[in-house]
Chains A and B, each alone.
Chain A
Amino acid sequence: MTDHLLATPPAAADTTTPELELAAVDKVYSSRRGTTEALRGIDLQVAAGEFVALVGRSGCGKTTLLRILAGLLPPTGGEVRAGGRPVWRGARRDEETVSRFGLVFQEPNLFPWFTIEDNVALPLKLRGVDRHARRARAHELCDLVGLGGFEKSLPRELSGGMRQRAAIARALSCDPSVLLMDEPFGALDALTRDRMNLELQSIASTTGATVVFVTHSIPEAVFLADRVVLLSPRPGRIHSVVDVDLARPRELEIDVEPAFRETVRSLRGGLDEEDTKRSGAGPWEEA
């Protein structure tokens, strides 16, 4: 195994500005039928280079939280900062701050009219990078995510896993300092998902990007993250934050190690605690 220092979350030595900072963030959805409180008083700091997983049941507001971070949804209260700068100025977002983010959604959301290469290079195109440089960068990224040779294919010609890789490559194309991922592997089969998790781990360490990763799978969160944030639903609040003290790089077989199992168990305990508080909630479904 590698240097154990790598496994300790940089948050421990956090004296500088955190890369991402949420302070007392609230989100209330209003509609004609009334209001829904989606998030209440979210305080969270993510250090540069840290990998944080947000876990919780469907409807606990984890996607809402990620969309607020990404600048896709304005919060109704509180402050969101990235690199010390506010992401939101009222209902308007700060484009410069947001431009340091790379976003991956549950669906690959590739444009069917572009080849994989053009999809991957879309962020560069929007920034006015010339065609030649775009192509070179797209090739590099396709190699990185294991899509070498598929640059000229159309999205519909690829499998679901390959499309999601292309979406990750697209998110990486502008060298984002922050990767925000919303259940990116939720739609993939278990075997593909395992492989994608391994690849994401190595991508995160090669690029050194800060990652916020939303999932409803506790084992996936523990496998990937330095820190796991457990959200409880209605309204979404932070239930607990668990440090994952496992060396990197992590192998898939890590799930048999006692430390891994212990972390999974404690997170699951936190979730069950929530369940007993609200009757009628079903058992935890594993992904």
Chain B
Amino acid sequence: MEQRGVAKWLPWVSAPLMLVLLVVVWSLVVSVFGISEFVLPPPSAVAASLGELLVDPATWGHVQVTVTEVLSGFAIALALGVIGGVVLGRIAWLEVAMRPALVAFQVVPKVALIPIFVIWFGFGLTSKVIMAAILAFFPILLNVLLGVRSVDRGHRDVMRGLGASRWSTFRNLELPSTLPYVFAGMEVAIVFSVIGAIVGEYLGGNEGLGFLVVSSLNALDAPALFAVIVLLAAVGSVLFFAVNLAKRLVIPWHESVSEKEFA
């Protein structure tokens, strides 16, 4: 009981402590070794730059663009990944037939495809959404595929013994037992979507946080560069925790949701 209590509040104490430690070490390193501001600006300069960034309405426009790209890509990946995973999970021969293509596509460094998307879809949102969707697609597909295959045999016997219909078996057994896999895929996929959108913005266009990173770099404004990265980390965290929260609400019964206890 007591240990469970510790597990509950400890992260809330340790996280800020680590942050403080990071900032302190960072400041010390900069001042002791006299590092140039172009290489590693002191935390104070980054904080000032971040403050300017946050009060600039243009920044929020960029955040909105990036978030739109990430969420659109993620939604497309989720829909296609779930459909693909269910189909391949159900039809074993199709999965075997598709395997070489899947492996080939998985090993391709997909960010290398961005220039092609730029040629096809231009510098606008579309090429970034597609990049985010492609990166997010595989973790969802593979997890759903695994989930569909992992329905417990004993549970199936129970439903068969009760003479359950196709629909009740889906509703009461297959759907709930696959959901944890869908969420595991989603947690990876949301992070990959952010990567896809940002890398897409690096390469082309004049909107989004990725563009802001590139323009800070071109202006040789290291504090601004760091500030944008901090902002990106914050946006990524919010998106991840949104997915995590959805998981907690939808599958509260699953082990991955229950509080972790110390062994």
Partner of B172, one of A71, A98, A125: A125
User: Which residue on B lies nearest to A93, using beta carbons?
Assistant: B163
A179 vs chain B, min Cβ distance (A): 12
Residues from chain A with Cβ under 8 Å of B254 in the complex: 112-113
B4 vs chain A, min Cβ distance (A): 13
B9 vs chain A, min Cβ distance (A): 23
Task: Answer whether residue B97 sits at the interface, using C-beta atoms and an 8 A cutoff.
Answer: no
Cα of A136 to Cα of B196 in the assembled complex, Å:
53
Residues from chain A with Cβ under 8 Å of B162 in the complex: 122-123, 126
Task: Answer whether residue B233 sits at the interface, using C-beta atoms and an 8 A cutoff.
Answer: no
Do A98 and B163 have beta carbons less than 8 Å apart?
yes
Do A101 and B161 have beta carbons less than 8 Å apart?
yes
Sample (22) of A-B pairs whose CB atoms are under 8 Å apart: A71-B161, A72-B157, A72-B161, A95-B163, A99-B163, A101-B161, A103-B157, A103-B158, A103-B161, A105-B158, A109-B154, A109-B155, A111-B172, A111-B173, A112-B253, A113-B177, A113-B251, A113-B253, A122-B162, A126-B162, A126-B165, A126-B168
Task: Answer whether residue B255 sits at the interface, using C-beta atoms and an 8 A cutoff.
Answer: yes
Q: Which of B74-123 contact A (CB under 8 A)?
A: none
Residues from chain A with Cβ under 8 Å of B152 in the complex: 109
Task: Answer whether residue A79 sits at the interface, using C-beta atoms and an 8 A cutoff.
Answer: no
Cα of A122 to Cα of B251 in the assembled complex, Å:
19
B43 vs chain A, min Cβ distance (A): 45
A-B residue pair count with CB separations less than 8 angstroms: 52
B158 vs chain A, min Cβ distance (A): 5
Residues from chain A with Cβ under 8 Å of B164 in the complex: 126
Give a binary string over B158-197; 1 marks a CB under 8 Å from any A CB, 0 the rest.
1011111100100011001100000000000000000000
* Residues of A in contact with B, size category: 20 to 34
* Residues of B in contact with A, size category: 20 to 34
Do A122 and B172 have beta carbons less than 8 Å apart?
yes
Do A98 and B161 have beta carbons less than 8 Å apart?
yes
Most chain B CB neighbours (cut-off 10 Å) among A105, A112, A123, A170: A112
Q: Which of A235-272 contact B (CB under 8 A)?
A: none
> Which residues of B approach A to under 8 Å, CB–CB?
152, 154-155, 157-158, 160-165, 168, 172-173, 176-177, 251, 253-255, 258
A125 vs chain B, min Cβ distance (A): 7
User: Which residue on B lies nearest to A155, using beta carbons?
Assistant: B253
CB contact under 8 A between A107 and B154, given known A95-B163, A112-B253, A126-B162: yes
Residues from chain B with Cβ under 8 Å of A95 in the complex: 163
Q: Which of A93-124 contact B (CB under 8 A)?
A: 95, 98-99, 101, 103, 105, 107, 109, 111-114, 122-123
Do B163 and A111 have beta carbons less than 8 Å apart?
no
A241 vs chain B, min Cβ distance (A): 26
Task: Answer whether residue A89 sits at the interface, using C-beta atoms and an 8 A cutoff.
Answer: no
Cα of A113 to Cα of B253 in the assembled complex, Å:
5
Do A154 and B163 have beta carbons less than 8 Å apart?
no
Give a binary string over A45-80; 1 marks a CB under 8 Å from any B CB, 0 the rest.
000000000000000000000000011100000000
Cα of A111 to Cα of B176 in the assembled complex, Å:
9
A123 vs chain B, min Cβ distance (A): 5
Do A105 and B157 have beta carbons less than 8 Å apart?
yes
Cα of A112 to Cα of B179 in the assembled complex, Å:
12
Partner of A109, one of B158, B163, B168, B172: B158
Cα of A98 to Cα of B157 in the assembled complex, Å:
13
Most chain B CB neighbours (cut-off 10 Å) among A71, A95, A107: A107
A171 vs chain B, min Cβ distance (A): 9
Task: Answer whether residue A152 sits at the interface, using C-beta atoms and an 8 A cutoff.
Answer: no
Do B176 and A109 have beta carbons less than 8 Å apart?
no
Which 7 A-B pairs give the minimum distances between C-beta atoms?
A109-B154, A103-B161, A113-B176, A95-B163, A113-B253, A107-B154, A109-B158
Do A72 and B155 have beta carbons less than 8 Å apart?
no
